[in-house]
A = this chain, B = another copy of it.
């Protein structure tokens, strides 16, 4: 399993991904799921992946190596596409190309062709945007009404986002809330695990702001965990006693 979250606020974008992959409980490994494509000043793109690892790795390879544009005959890569919307379409094409090659055979082996991606970033001349791309290659975009998108094991970490994140949340608070959401998921689901990769991108900077891998000994993350748990304890203890009796 996997948990990745992207949060798009006025100041910028946060993307966070765990690194645990598993084929059954007895076959666990660590793979990076958060991938960066950066040409400072021209584009800064982050992609987080969930689902079948063979599929997502093939898609990422196609993004780098390129796909022939059927109209112009030219090879396009993620570094040449001129807008974020077109990058989302391009990733959709790459997913369908992988499906064309492996999809039928995977189904014959009862392996599901299952991939979802978060695509965030900015290409020069366009806006900072955040998309979620499905295994059919179609996609949705985060808006100010719903400024975050999740893939993988999304339920554990959703309540804190639902309660606290708006598009006016600062980039720093969004990063903290994303880390709390990730911590809640890691605690409750063995399929999601450390280390955790974090990226932030400031709006219109067109370069990476933060790019960091949080491992088990990361002091800030340990402190955030501790403070959060202590604050929750204090919070429920401060709520008055329920006044309920027998109706």
Contacts and interface: CB of A to CB of B under 8 A. Distances in A.
Nearest to A160: B232
Contacts of A210: 242, 244-246
A100 interface: no
Interface in A38-93: none
Contacts of A238: 227, 231
Contact of A159 (B156, B177, B237): B156
Given A176-B242, A210-B242, A246-B210, A236 B187 contact: no
Interface string A101-145: 000000000000000000000000000000000000000000000
A244 B246 CA distance: 52
A212 interface: yes
B228 A242 contact: no
Interface in A171-195: 172-173, 175-177, 179-180, 184-185, 187-189
A73 to B, nearest CB: 38
A223 B213 CA distance: 39
A178 to B, nearest CB: 10
Interface in A198-213: 198, 208, 210-213
A224 B189 CA distance: 27
19 contacts: A155-B188, A157-B159, A159-B159, A159-B184, A159-B185, A159-B187, A160-B232, A164-B232, A164-B233, A172-B242, A175-B242, A177-B236, A210-B244, A212-B245, A220-B240, A223-B239, A224-B239, A231-B238, A235-B235
